[in-house]
């Protein structure tokens, strides 16, 4: 039988349980409340159990909007609410008003049949105010020779005025490509 040397006897209950560690029957506590280690572990276990979905083996999360009420989101494909489509079967240097008012450019699928690169000039300007070769494009999409390009911008590119575009042989020019392009533009 061993001897306890230099042990504070007041740290133990009559049943031998350590007062600081506690017993398995201690009530759970959370936050900055005082309690035994056992009570704090029971509190943590209770908090985890309240957010754990044991059927699907994942956390249950609610995003709360403090101004109104809880907001719940389900990220899944839906038949409504997606991008609008502007389809062009003969895209050339004629300006296209993808959207005539403020909007979001969401992406594109474009095929360039030409033997040289073609440039899609995109403007945040109403089509009537764009003069190709003079008006500076907001950004330019370069399409390699006889190639296609596809992209969807996760959150889109905001346009404060309009979404206008045209296809040209240089990044800031006005000359039409030899053969028109086939394109599909996504927007909101």
Residues 66 and 115 in one domain: no
Q: Which pair of structure tokens corresponds to residue 174?
A: 């006005």
The string of pLDDT tens digits covering residues 78-131 is 677 789 999 999 999 999 999 999 999 999 999 999 999 999 999 999 999 999
- Kindly state whether residues 61 and 113 are assigned to the same domain: no
Pairing of strands 103-112, 96-99: unpaired
* 152-172 mean pLDDT: 95
Please report the pLDDT score of residue 77 as a whole number: 64
Residues 25 and 94 grouped into a single domain: no
Both 34 and 91 in a single domain? no
If asked whether residues 52 and 122 sit together in one domain, one would say: no
pLDDT at res. 73: 65
Quick one: how far is CA 150 from the chain centroid?
19
Q: How confident is the model at residue 1 (pLDDT cuts 50, 70, 90)?
A: very low
Flag whether the pTM goes above 0.75.
no
Give the burial class of 12: count Cβ atoms within 10 A of its Cβ; 0-12 exposed, 13-18 middle, 19 or more buried: middle
Q: Cα–Cα–Cα angle for 176, 177, 181, nearest 5°? A: 110
Asked if 97 and 178 sit in the same domain, the reply is yes
Shared-domain flag, residues 137 and 88: yes
With bands split at pLDDT 50, 70 and 90, how would you rate the model's confidence at 182?
A: very high
* Helix residue spans in the chain (DSSP H): 37-51
Domain hosting residue 136, numbered range: 84-187
Q: What is the DSSP string of 89-143?
A: EEESSS-EEEESSSEEEEEEEEEE-SSS-EEEEEESS-GGG--TTTSPPSEEEEE
pLDDT bucket at 9, cuts 50 / 70 / 90: very low
Could you report the per-residue pLDDT of 116-132, keeping only the tens digit for each?
A: 999 999 999 999 999 99
Within a domain: residue 99?
Answer: yes
Question: Do both 114 and 176 map to the same domain?
Answer: yes
If you average pLDDT over every residue of the chain, what do you get? 84
Which of 39, 71, 103 is a domain's end point? 71
Query: Cα 154 vs. chain centroid, distance in angstroms?
Result: 6
- Among 48, 71, 94, identify where a domain stops: 71
Instruction: Verify that 56 and 97 share a domain, yes or no.
Output: no
Residue 76 lies in a domain: no
């Amino acid at each position: 039988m061993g001897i306890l040397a230099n042990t504070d006897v007041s740290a133990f209950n009559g049943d031998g349980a350590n007062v600081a560690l506690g017993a398995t029957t201690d009530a759970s506590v959370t936050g900055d409340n005082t309690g035994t280690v056992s009570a704090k572990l029971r509190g943590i276990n209770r908090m985890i159990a309240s957010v754990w979905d044991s059927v699907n083996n994942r956390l249950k999360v609610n995003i709360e909007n403090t101004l109104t009420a809880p907001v719940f989101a389900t990220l899944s494909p839906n038949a409504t609410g997606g991008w609008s489509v502007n389809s062009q079967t003969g895209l050339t240097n004629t300006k296209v008003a993808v959207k005539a008012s403020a909007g979001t450019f969401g992406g594109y699928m474009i095929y360039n049949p030409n033997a040289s690169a073609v440039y899609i000039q995109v403007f945040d300007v109403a089509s009537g105010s764009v003069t190709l070769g003079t008006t500076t494009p907001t950004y330019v999409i370069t399409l390699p020779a006889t190639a296609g390009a596809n992209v969807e911008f996760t959150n889109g590119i905001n346009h404060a005025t309009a979404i206008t575009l045209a296809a040209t042989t240089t990044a800031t020019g006005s000359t039409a490509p030899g053969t028109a392009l086939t394109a599909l533009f996504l927007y909101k």
